[in-house]
Structures are given as C-alpha cells and as structure tokens.
Amino acid sequence: MTRGTTPELTFQLPFDAGALTKLSIAFEQDGVLVLEKKLEDCTVSGQQVSVRLTEEDTLAFRQNGSVLQIQLRCGIGEKRLASEVITATVGRILKEGTL
C-alpha cells in the first residue's frame, strides 16, 4: 500500500457478510493503533467486506520500513470473531501531503 493513495481493500469472509452487526478493521504499526474503520465505513456484498481508505488515512502510515498490520474483528449478534493478522508494506512517496 502506498502512502497518499486511496486504495479499496476487500476482505473475503467465510460467511455472509450481511449478517455482521459489528466490525472493526484495525491498522497498527510498531504496536500503535494508527487507524480503525468500522462497519459503517464499509461496503458489504455477499461474503465480502470492502473499505476505501482516504489520502489522509494512508498518509498516517509510516514509510520507514515498519510493517503495517491489519486485523478484522467481527460481531454477529453475541458471537465475536477475529481474523489472523495480515501484514503489508507501506510504499513511500517523494512529496509529503495530499494532492
């Protein structure tokens, strides 16, 4: 993922995503929570959850070589589920800031 871009991230779930009542997508670097997206920030279709990050969102990630970790935590009624931690690298940009 490159800083200053607006990627759409899509996650495939093993169940109908329409059943979700709660959702947290956490983005962490070096043990610090940098960004969190909730169910209302996402689009749900079939077994997929998609979220679009803004320029400001991706500019919050550091490009110093530290790994970006992503995890989904879901709620369906009283049930709670969590994904494995997904790792990504953050691509650098030459000019800081939004376009």
pLDDT digits (tens, 9 = 90+) for 39-86: 999 999 999 999 999 999 999 999 888 899 999 999 999 999 999 999
C-alpha–C-alpha distance, residues 17 and 37, integer Å: 16
pTM (2 decimals)?
0.95
**What is the residue extent of each domain of the chain?**
8-88
* Amino acid (1-letter code) at residue 35: L
Q: Which residues of 48-75 are buried (b: 16+ CB within 10 A; e: fewer)?
A: ebebebeeebbbebebeeeebbbebebe
C-alpha–C-alpha distance, residues 30 and 9, integer Å: 21
Q: What would the two tokens of residue 91 be?
A: 């691509």
